[in-house]
Amino acid sequence: AQSVAQPEDQVNVAEGNPLTVKCTYSVSGNPYLFWYVQYPNRGLQFLLKYITGDNLVKGSYGFEAEFNKSQTSFHLKKPSALVSDSALYFCAVRDGNNNAGNMLTFGGGTRLMVKP
């Protein structure tokens, strides 16, 4: 079984400050990790993914995430937050085992509030 934990329901950041949205995961095989963002009344938009290779992954809109195998974490980061980054962020995992199926398991989501 696979699972994702996003320990913070909400993260508040001032515009221009760095932001971090936390994610930890549990999966039996190799983890394929994803971050998605959801704006009000919209579907989920893909931000970035880690499959293999460099632990630091860069994605859309200046976001990046660092894969840490020993801590089973995949925290989302941005050096300088924008008010327009305010949205709901989801971390997701799937088992990289070829026979494990392709469905994603999502965390509960973290609401990011960036204040001017």
Partner 1 sequence: GAGVSQSPSNKVTEKGKDVELRCDPISGHTALYWYRQSLGQGLEFLIYFQGNSAPDKSGLPSDRFSAERTGGSVSTLTIQRTQQEDSAVYLCASSLVWAGGSGKNIQYFGAGTRLSVL
> Residue 20 Cβ, how far from partner 1 at the closest point, in Å?
21
- Residue 20 found at the interface with partner 1 (CB under 8 A): no
> Residue 97 Cβ, how far from partner 1 at the closest point, in Å?
9
Alpha carbon separation from 40 to 20, 45, 89, 110, 113 (Å, rounded):
21, 12, 11, 14, 13
- Residue 87 found at the interface with partner 1 (CB under 8 A): no
Contacting residues for 73 by C-beta, under 8 A, at least 6 apart: 22, 23, 24, 25, 66, 67
| Region of 9-17, 36-44, 60-68, 70-78 interacting with partner 1 (CB under 8 A) | 36-44
Query: Do residues 51 and 29 touch, judged by C-beta distance below 8 A?
Result: no
> Residue 15 Cβ, how far from partner 1 at the closest point, in Å?
27
Burial class (CB in 10 A: 0-12, 13-18, 19+), 111: middle
Window 46-65: contact mask with partner 1 (x via CB under 8 A): x--x-x--------------
| Binding residue for partner 1, selected from 26, 45, 55, 80, defined by CB under 8 A | 45
Alpha carbon separation from 52 to 18, 100, 101, 102 (Å, rounded):
26, 17, 18, 16
Of 103 and 113, the one with the shorter C-beta distance to partner 1 is 103
Q: Which residues bind partner 1 (CB under 8 A)?
A: 32, 34, 36, 41-46, 49, 51, 90, 94, 96, 98, 101-109
